[in-house]
Structure 1
Amino acid sequence: MAFVKMDATAVQKIRNGTEEDIISLLDEWTQKNAQTFTFSDITDDVKEKVTESLFARLSQKASSKFHCLCLQTLRLFSREKTRLGSMITDNGLVHFMRLAGLEHYAKQGEADNGITIQLGDAEVTIEAQKCLCNLIFNSVQAQAACSKNGCVEGIVQRLKTYKDPDLKFDIKFYDMRLLFLLTALCADTRPKIRFELHGFTYLIEVIDLILRDAEARDDGLTDQEVDLCSEILKILFNLTVTVDRNNLDEEEEAHMMRLVCVLRDLLLCKTASKDKREEIISHTVNLLINMPRDCYEELLAPMAEVDLSGIENKEVEYDGKNMEAVVILLNFLYERLDRPSKSLKESLTPILHCLCETCRANRSIRKFCRMKVLPPLKDEVKHLPEEGSTLRNRLCKLLTSPILEVKELAADFLFVLCKESVNRMVKYTGYGNCAGLLANRGLMLGGQSQGQGDYSSDSEDSETEEYSNMADSVNPVTGRYEVEKPKPWEGMTDEQKEYEAMKLVEAMDKLNRQGIIQPSVLGEDGRPQTVSHILELLENQPNPPPAGGSSDD
């Protein structure tokens, strides 16, 4: 039996056929095309006529199955980025909104209390939501229309009803997917949601409600709850990504502090599966980057009698504060470093950026992270800083990564932990590893970073006896203890030394002319400056800064 086709015959059947005939036709066609994303076998004229005929049928009373199949057909059509026709007209979009329960009725001059939401059959609602998601994703016209036609207001209004146990998860999920797409693709929806509709507060309350339900069950977040929280966190990221974190009024700052408290609870909450836990932490990390500096204190809390994360209290208590959330962030970084990834940039840059922000902003977090990442050096100084499996070793290895963003963020994180002290950075990473950061900041001649004044001045000498005994033999370039070796030029005559030196100069000059290396000298600003000839390297070159300098808090 031949598969049904969307042609003139199908158009006539949809227009004039019985409900049973149309169900049979659409059921077969949607199953056949469930994984189809372009419909080159359907002409523009036929596709538009089918669309209009389906809209006409959706306006009539019929069974839930019939309406669902009509919407499933339109959903498949909406996958195409072109030829969307009447689906993206104002009338077409309002039709989908009505079926999705998002049609916005407001009396002129009235606020949100004039809005009524009509919610019909759940399966029909979900199919209509999916159609809107596709159309907003694929069409700029649909994006612009849905940001102004009451769709946003309808979603926020229904957001207030999420406590209702009868409201299906999929309806909540696709509401949030719609809101994510609109906030991502239509910048003008962000202030409307935050200030006019108070959506920021409602979104935080939904996450808090989910967390309280999970706590009451004492079994962690279900996979569905993680999915819903993840969508909300993505929306909150969009709402905060352009916020001026240094210029918030008291009310906005209070909302941000409340949000960081909720994010802390998300970090500590259990999940049904390991993959979902990684997903929720990842979205939480992304959002933490947008938070104002003063709000990071909310990640810390008084020590609780019961450790929710399964980590012993003695490992998370520092300076009288509960560092569970910070431990989870550090463990998340370690797991990302420990697991090979095809995209180091996407895997590592968010968590490195998050830790840089929190450590730079909060003294307690920085001191705790320094204790965990850069503990006082002992016998490990006998190995290269990048050798080994500790966080310090793995971060030092990133300092020479070919991925610029990863290299710079890893260097910045370590530099912040060192209170932006050049000597301390060299001590823990080796001059060779951190040369890129020092060059970018004009610190290759030593000195102080401009950010040095942002840190506390108190310091405790935590240098170990083991390190002190080996300090004189630590190579500042490699950062490793090295037994003194005989000098290669001992026993040479002056003529032999000059001959070997000229051979080295010629070899370097050849590499320079071939573009393999680009020799530089340090300028007065502490940054590298390219030389015109290799012999300029012999003039007025300073020694690298010493590896000494006591560690601090």
Structure 2
Amino acid sequence: MFSFESQDDVDVCNLLHDFSSSKNILKWENNLRNNNSEAVFQDFEEINKKLLHQTNFKDYSSEERISLVNFINANIHKKNTPSFLRAEMVKLIRILSRDKFEVELLFIGKIPNYLLSYACFIKYSPENDEIEENDDKTVYLESLKCLTNSFYSSKTSQDSATNEVSASILQTIRVLSLKILDEICNYANIVKPIIDVDELPSINVDFLKKFNLDSCHLIETSKENTKENVINLINDLHNILFLMLKHVFILSFHKSKQPNNYFVTEEALKEFIVIGKIFSSSAYYNNGVWPRKFDNNPWSQYFRSLFNIYNLSDAKSMEIINKFRESLIEICSDIINYGSQYSERREQDAINLLAAFPDHIACIVKKVRDLPPKGSLDEIRLQKHLWNGFDMGVPSEIMKIIDDILPPVTEDQPKIYTYNPLIELLPANLTVLIGLCRSSKEARRYCREVILPPLTSKDVQQRPDIGKGLRNKLIRLISQPELQTDRLSTELLFILCKKSVPRLIKYTGLGNCAGLLANSGLLGKINEKKSSSDSEDSETEDYKSIEDQVNPVTGYIEKQPTTNIFENMSEGQKEYEAVKLANALHKMMDLGIVSPAVIDEKGTTRAATSVMELVKDIHLEESNTDSNSD
């Protein structure tokens, strides 16, 4: 047996150098010829234990890699190699493929095809001294794990995943999903939803029985088909499903720029739709099998794959994808709605996919015509989200996510947020909310009611970006350009203000929204007359009584200073301070830091070219004032 010194800090370089020595390889070949595979197994098992948590193999030389992999390639599929040794060989390839350095040397010869064959994605034609097919569950699972690494790291492995392989993976995912749904419905004694798969090709899933992944195995091996056994079976199937969905996620990225990409064909998208309908069914999502906090849920990988496909496809492929867009939007909506029932789950991947087509999601806000059965999960959810006869589940959940991410702001709080990785989720959530408010009148009214309720006198006692309300938090984002959500936040508020500039200024203060108005060419509308609706649904009588005291620039009633700084100044001192200020402004203008500006015909600001431009409208304003007073 090949021995290692026990040590906490593994010397990977020397360990692999000794393991891959020509002396060891000759010894292994002799052992296999003499049917002493146990000794070879022990060496592979021990090094795998030593390398289990290692990820850096840059010091492992090319010559040693080639020697080891040639031995594996020559023996892994032989009839005289037992399955327990085969599993350890696959495991070693999986561990070494964590590092992309010279990873292609791990996938020489027939190894890529062997792995695909062990994972039941292809039918391999064996030679005389090779096994016909893998019949060991451990080899099957190790191969699935190894393919996750190899598809990510190795171009050779990616190329081995032909369109036929990609189709096989996606079809197996669909069949496994249906299998899990069957087991869940039997376990929970609920009616299985009707999902049409007649147009999709059937595939052979005998490997489930072969690897004891079928409920028939439970009946044969247990006198009593206990709930614990059923849950264990469902979890085993789920772990396999999760690995396959990771394969699709990785391949959907690498195949995106290749011609004849299977993932953007109608056949593939039909598979995606059926898989999505399974995941988004209440029976699959809401059951007692899954934990409430679900870190490795399969639908996250599903949505990430579709996000890759949608965002990385060319115009021709988009024509095909858009045929299925409405179904994908409905699947996203259902997952987000069900996820809102679990405080531990945040279905961000579904929201990210919706953000890929924000102009087409108005169909999410539906008129509720028939109420779900009393006491059902759908009825409980709808009680929270029903608004004026419409289901507001998605906008409600997105506003809740934004509210949870952003902390309340107080007067004494520093201007800069403490870093929160969840901040990175804001652009997608804001994009979807803007898309909903822009395309759905009902969603716009609902969000306005939540974010911008009618102002009261209490609302304008402090800066509009101070407070724990969602309005305060969104206004705060405007002054945080480093978070890259200032434009989105301002756009959302502008839409909710009915694209009325005076109304936006009233809610945010001119100082907070001036950037948007300047960039959008709307500065010229600052003084436009308010419409009657601006006052009707955005002000209370309480607010109207103090409206004149609100500073339109800051958006709140500023406390007057208790002392006047000019009170004890002589006229000479006042004149000195005025000259000092004028000189400072003159210096800033000379240095190009500031310059006088005018509003052009498009409503945007530009630097004034002469003094005449600054005073050209003075006489006109005076004459207008006179005529108005008449």
TM-score range relative to shorter protein: 0.7 to 0.9
How far apart are the structure 1 equivalents of 2:613 and 2:476?
28
Map 1:371-390 to 2 at 5 A: 371-378=449-456, 379-390=458-469
Asked if 1:137 is matched to 2:214, the reply is: no
1:109: which partner in 2? Answer: none
Deviation track 1:232-254 (CA, whole Å, cap 9, x = no partner) reads 110111222256999987x8656
Deviates more, 1:236-245 or 1:481-490: 481-490
Q: Is the 8 A contact 1:126 1:170 kept in 2?
A: no
Over 3 Å counting, the alpha-carbon distance change for 1:325 and 1:361 in structure 2 is: same
* Equivalent in 577, 589, 608 of residue 500 of structure 1: 577
How far apart are the structure 1 equivalents of 2:124 and 2:358?
37
Tell me the CA shift for residue 130 of structure 1: 2.5
1:548: which partner in 2? Answer: none
- AA in 1 matched with 2:175: T
Tell me the CA shift for residue 71 of structure 1: 0.6
The 3-state SS of whatever aligns with 2:406 is helix
1:169: which partner in 2? Answer: 238
1:452: which partner in 2? Answer: none
2:542: which partner in 1? Answer: 466
Over 3 Å counting, the alpha-carbon distance change for 1:487 and 1:225 in structure 2 is: closer
Deviation track 1:487-532 (CA, whole Å, cap 9, x = no partner) reads 86689888665533321133345566778x5455244143343579
Tell me the CA shift for residue 149 of structure 1: 6.0
Q: Is the 8 A contact 2:170 2:268 kept in 1?
A: yes
Please identify the structure whose Cα radius of gyration is greater: 2
How far apart are the structure 1 equivalents of 2:250 and 2:28?
32
1:148: which partner in 2? Answer: 162
The 3-state SS of whatever aligns with 1:81 is coil
Asked if 1:368 is matched to 2:368, the reply is: no
Deviates more, 1:236-245 or 1:18-27: 236-245
Tell me the CA shift for residue 370 of structure 1: 0.9
Deviation track 1:193-235 (CA, whole Å, cap 9, x = no partner) reads 4553622232332243243434674676666695211111101
How far apart are the structure 1 equivalents of 2:25 and 2:124?
33
Q: Is the 8 A contact 2:306 2:353 kept in 1?
A: yes
1:114: which partner in 2? Answer: none
Map 1:411-430 to 2 at 5 A: 411-430=490-509
Map 1:208-219 to 2 at 5 A: 208-210=277-279, 211-214=281-284, 217=287
Q: Is the 8 A contact 2:361 2:439 kept in 1?
A: no
How far apart are the structure 1 equivalents of 2:526 and 2:260?
44
Deviates more, 1:282-291 or 1:167-176: 167-176
Q: Is the 8 A contact 1:296 1:361 kept in 2?
A: yes
Asked if 1:49 is matched to 2:67, the reply is: yes
What is the aligned-residue identity percentage? 25
Deviates more, 1:87-96 or 1:364-373: 87-96
Tell me the CA shift for residue 192 of structure 1: 3.7
What TM-score does the superposition give when structure 1 sets the normalisation length?
0.81
How far apart are the structure 2 equivalents of 1:495 and 1:539?
29
In the alignment, structure 2 segments of 5+ residues that lack a partner are: 6-14, 126-131, 181-207, 214-236, 409-417, 619-630
Over 3 Å counting, the alpha-carbon distance change for 1:30 and 1:171 in structure 2 is: same
Map 1:102-251 to 2 at 5 A: 102-103=121-122, 120-143=135-158, 145-146=159-160, 148=162, 150-162=164-176, 163-165=178-180, 166=208, 168-188=237-257, 192-196=261-265, 198-210=267-279, 211-214=281-284, 217=287, 227-242=297-312
Deviation track 1:254-307 (CA, whole Å, cap 9, x = no partner) reads 6322222222221232599754x02xx111110111236344323435154557
Over 3 Å counting, the alpha-carbon distance change for 1:77 and 1:55 in structure 2 is: same
1:2: which partner in 2? Answer: 4
Deviation track 1:9-34 (CA, whole Å, cap 9, x = no partner) reads 33223433331111111111111111
Q: Is the 8 A contact 1:155 1:175 kept in 2?
A: yes
How far apart are the structure 2 equivalents of 1:478 and 1:246?
50
How far apart are the structure 2 equivalents of 1:306 and 1:420?
41
Map 1:5-20 to 2 at 5 A: 5-8=18-21, 9-17=23-31, 18-20=36-38
Tell me the CA shift for residue 362 of structure 1: 1.5
State the Cα RMSD in Å: 3.9
Over 3 Å counting, the alpha-carbon distance change for 1:246 and 1:189 in structure 2 is: closer
* Equivalent in 323, 329, 350 of residue 284 of structure 1: 350
Deviates more, 1:339-348 or 1:470-479: 339-348
Tell me the CA shift for residue 177 of structure 1: 0.7
Over 3 Å counting, the alpha-carbon distance change for 1:231 and 1:448 in structure 2 is: farther
Over 3 Å counting, the alpha-carbon distance change for 1:526 and 1:460 in structure 2 is: closer
Aligned pairs, number: 518
* Equivalent in 260, 269, 275 of residue 338 of structure 2: 269
Deviation track 1:73-92 (CA, whole Å, cap 9, x = no partner) reads 11122122132244345733
- AA in 1 matched with 2:503: R
The 3-state SS of whatever aligns with 1:529 is strand
Tell me the CA shift for residue 310 of structure 1: 9.2
1:93: which partner in 2? Answer: 112
